[in-house]
Structure 1
Amino acid sequence: MAMETAKKMTLFGLVWPIMIELFLQFMIGTADTLMVSRISDDAVAVVGISNQFFQAVIMLFVLISSGAGIVISQKLGAGKEEEARKVASMAFTLTVGLGLVVSLFLFFGANIFVNMLHVPESLHAMTYQYIRVVGSGTIVMSAILTLSTVIRSTGNTKGPMLVAVGMNIIHIIGNYVFIFGALGLPKWGLLGVSLSTVGSRAIALLVLFYIFRKSFTGLIQWRDLRLFDRPLLKEVAKVGLPMAFSSASWTISQVILFSMIATMGAEQLAARTYLNTMESFSFLAGWSFAMAVQIQVAHLFGAGQMEKAYRSLYKALFWGELIVITNTILLFIFGKNVVGAFTDNQEIISIVVGVMALNLLLQPLKMWNMPLNNALNAVGETKYVMNISIVCMWIIAVGGTYLFGLQLGWLIYGVYVAMILDEGIRGFLVQRRWLARKKLPKESAPMIQERRGIAGQM
């Protein structure tokens, strides 16, 4: 099993299914934005601020599952499959439990978040409805994220990709049926979008759970989901807690950022929504390299191949930057035509086109930053990444948005200037840390010694 897993851990073997999966997720967001734009620009603004809020909430689960994924990859690299299996079961149980709590909170407390986001009064009713319906499905999304992460950590990146294909198709069909009243059904507008979102995710969850149960040599049983191994839980916590604290801080900072953008007006908010969609296209291929390198570095680190782990980051960084820079240039050239497909509001189009030039700097800086963060997390440097992230996101991203965007009146241009400074400074700091850790930490030595001992006994 260990040799079979190692064969799956090549960079490009991991990357291409992740890239396709992320592209399909991007297509879901694009389909939402394009179809919702046929309702109104106000509806687009509602989806934009709500989905950004949901992304912030979901980051809590992303980082918890990512912590477990790192430990799983390290354990598989060290030949400890049974421990990896236990970690996977615990991660699923924990995130589902937390997801249930968050789902209930969002369903019954949707009004709290509408007010907290400073949504324009004219958008209150639509935002409340959207947050309530989609938010109640947080338990489904949290489970999907955990299962996808666990499955990828075993080297199987094709499974989540194929599930994403099916989810994408179901979601687009659901949007068409519910928004436009196809097949004789009533036109439910934004409510239909939210129902289509939750429904497609629920179906995806069932398929992913089936794959999850067969991801290890021994079939995962229902009783496994009730078991907790304290030492293993401590290992996950050591990696995952700093990531979770960083995620919680990021969640709050994003809510504040979008609440500040909301005070700038509906046009600024809608422009940011369109920009998010377009930027996702620019960055998703690069992000797939960042996700793949975390799995690869964690596996190599667990196997004791530390020099190879160190060098693998730069291969991912080179290819990721090449793709991101190319995509960003294309977006800059054709951006006006792209946003024109979503809206005919000239003020919104003007804002989006103006910000495109700033993306020529922002997106490559993001690509520089994220693989380095993931690689450092994969070798246990989660506390350092957490400290750098929290300080920079609050002082530079949030503080810069307030200063440039609101106080100096640069509006969304000020937001992007702050984000550029944030990504640039963090990228410099994590790059310096990675260079300083060329001889990676020796935490994996016990794993290596134990594997050698087992091999000697055989």
Structure 2
Amino acid sequence: MIRIDEQTNVVKMAIPIFIEVLLFMIMGNVDTMMLSRFSDIAVAAVGNANQILNTVLIVFNVTSAATGIMVTQYLGARKNEVLNQIYAMAFGFNVLLAGAIALLLYFFQVAIFGWIHMPQELYSDTAAYLNVTLGFLFVPALFTVSSVILKSHGQTKVTMFLAIGMNLLNVVGNAVFLFGPFGLPILGVRGVAISTVVSRSFALVVMLYILIRHYRIRIKLKHYFELSKAEVLKFVKLGLPSAGEPMSYQFSQMVIFSMINLMGTTAVTTKIYVQILVWFTYLASLALAQANAIIVGHLIGAGKEDAAYRLTLRSLRYSVIITLTMSFVFILFRKPLISIFTSDPEIIAMGATILLVDIFVELGRIFNLVIINAFKSAGDVYFPVIIGIFSMWGVSTLGAYILGVHLGFGLVGIWVAMAADEILRGIIMFVRLMRGNWRGKQIVENH
């Protein structure tokens, strides 16, 4: 058992998370890069499919957020007796959610395609990708919870090594199904989906083995009958608002994506290529935010709020330095970077302009990543979602329509609206952190 307290080095804990998240993003981006050699239509189709999947799969955050908060605080308070009940709730909820989402997307996918204004030529490939994924939706459902549990125990290196294995399997699978070596059939986007499912299934099996063998996790039927009403309510009250903020973000992004679809396939493809690049600008900050949140949960459970506050400020400072440095590098080399994905001059010019605006998006986003995750670990789950809903829809989504569609500024207008949202929320969260309104909201009693 790894001991986590105020002496835990947040950077050391963040490094494996950074590598893991990097490889997860590479796994998604390898799909895009390999597909770009296959066809731009395939890129846009998988981009739409992933936008839909990411939007609905965000509901898994209800359980993973509640699980992370409860497990870290109970471990910090040295109260391990109820952990198996928490695990039972988390796995049970996610399996049920996976089944419901799979049925919803299978029967209503064409209606969803129309709602997000997807170009007609993308329907076939998008459906092919989705239908393979939906049959195995329980895999990311169980994977999400298992990963949160391992990280809550401080086992960030385990998930890192699993990400390496997943990435290698995914690359090999993509090569086989996209390019058909040795006379094998070329399956296109359907093959990319199969490769993704197989690689994640491998990681899930290993992860479950570790949890059962080394952490003695035992989920039995009796746990569901022994659950107290108070624990279930606590789980739901933590999970719903904690997931509400990222869910609101994903749904607002889906609405914005539908606006981009109206601008044509070139705009969609540009958005996808730029998004791949900007992910790398805040990757280290995302890892620091997750590591910080794990340690904060343990500190709050142990009744050490001042230590949690100092740690969060330190993590924020590291994040600002790293992210701004990366953003400036990406601005300097913006055209060669876009050229990695395409030779289309229109996409390169549009993408280069977007990267100039994106530095403001990233500056606001790092404040939100670090501070909001710390608030959630401390049990302060309602404030971020209230502000998030107001800003994401009132500033980002509405602003994207006004600037991008109504006034005709296109992708640049949409990016300006997203920057305004991130910066506004970042300022509000920083003020709350400094004032200390997040204190006193822990879920366990300290004795």
- TM bin, normalised by shorter chain, reads over 0.9
Alpha-carbon distance between aligned partners in 2 of 1:200 and 1:168, rounded to the nearest angstrom:
7
- Report how far residue 132 of structure 1 moved: 2.1
Q: Is the 8 A contact 1:404 1:414 kept in 2?
A: yes
Question: Residues of 1 paired with 2:243 and 2:297: CA distance?
Answer: 18
1:397: how far off? Answer: 0.8
Q: Give the Cα separation in 2 of the matches to 1:229 and 1:340.
A: 57
CA contact (8 A) 1:73 1:154 kept: yes
| Correspondences of 1:189-338 after superposition (within 5 Å) | 189-214=188-213, 216=215, 218-223=216-221, 226-227=224-225, 228-338=227-337
Q: CA deviation at 1:148?
A: 0.4
Deviations 1:13-43 (A, max 9, x none): 3211111100101111221111000111111
Deviations 1:328-384 (A, max 9, x none): 112112221122121111111111011110112211211122111111111121111
Displacement of 1:9 after TM fit? 4.6
Residue deviations 1:216-262, cap 9 Å, x none? 3x442444664534322222222112123334433332221111110
Q: Secondary structure at the match of 2:78?
A: coil
Asked if 1:162 corresponds to 2:158, the answer is no
2:41 is aligned with 1:42: yes
Q: Report if aligned partners of 1:68, 1:87 keep a CA contact under 8 Å in 2.
A: yes
Query: Could you list the runs of 5+ residues in structure 1 that have no partner in the other structure?
Result: 450-458
Distance of aligned partners of 1:425 and 1:270 in 2 relative to their CA distance in 1, 3 Å threshold: same
Query: Per the alignment, in what secondary structure is the counterpart of residue 341 of structure 2?
Result: coil
Partner in structure 1 of residue 172 of structure 2:
173
Identity rate, percent: 32
- Cα gap change, 1:100/1:183 in structure 2, threshold over 3 Å: closer, same or farther? farther
CA offsets per residue over residues 259-297 of structure 1, 9 Å max, x none? 111001110000000011111111111100111111111
Structure 2 partner of 1:122: 121
Residue 446 of structure 2 is matched in structure 1 by 448
Deviation at 1:435, TM superposition (A): 1.1
Deviation at 1:436, TM superposition (A): 1.3
Extract structure 1 runs of 4+ deviating beyond 6 A: none
Distance, in Å, in 2 between the alignment partners of 1:92 and 1:162 is 23
My pick for the range that moved more, 141-150 or 171-180, is 141-150
CA shift in 2, pair 1:85/1:245, >3 Å: same
2:427 alignment counterpart: 428
* Closer/same/farther in 2, CA of residues 6 and 115 from structure 1, 3 Å limit: same
SS in 1 for 2:282: helix
- Specify the alignment match of 1:139 in structure 2: 138
**C-alpha displacement at 1:438, in angstroms?**
7.0
TM-score by length of structure 2 reads 0.95
CA distance in 2, matches of 1:220, 1:395: 45
Residues 4-15 of structure 1 mapped to structure 2, 5 A cutoff: 4-6=3-5, 9-15=8-14
Alignment of 1:395-414 (within 5 A): 395-414=394-413
Paired residues of 1:78 and 1:448 also in contact (CA < 8 A) = yes
Contact 1:107 1:133 in 2 (8 A): no
Instruction: Specify the alignment match of 1:72 in structure 2.
Output: 71
Question: Which letter does structure 1 place at the counterpart of 2:445?
Answer: M
Name which of structure 1's ranges 4-13 and 97-106 shifts more when overlaid on structure 2.
4-13
Mapped to 2, the partners of 1:307 and 1:287 lie a distance apart of 23
Q: C-alpha root-mean-square deviation of aligned residues, in Å?
A: 1.9
Amino acid at match of 2:353: G
Distance in 2, Cα, partners of 1:83 & 1:34 = 45
Aligned equivalent of 1:454: none
- Tell me, what secondary structure is at the counterpart of 1:109? helix
Is 1:363 aligned to 2:371, yes or no? no
Size of the aligned set, in residue pairs, is: 446
Unaligned runs of 5+ in 2: none
AA aligned opposite 1:109: F
Amino acid paired to 1:27: I
Query: Following the alignment from structure 2 to structure 1, what is the Cα–Cα distance between the partners of residues 438 and 255?
Result: 39
Given that 2:63 and 2:93 are in contact with CA atoms closer than 8 Å, whether structure 1 keeps it comes out as: no
Displacement of 1:6 in angstroms is 4.2
Letter in 1 for 2:266: E
Tell me whether 434-443 or 187-196 shows the greater mean CA deviation.
434-443
CA contact (8 A) 2:66 2:238 kept: yes
Q: TM-score, normalised by structure 1?
A: 0.93
Q: Deviations over 1:146-169 (max 9, x none)?
A: 110111011111111111111111
Matched residue of 2:154: which SS? coil
Residue 110 of structure 1 corresponds to which residue in structure 2? 109
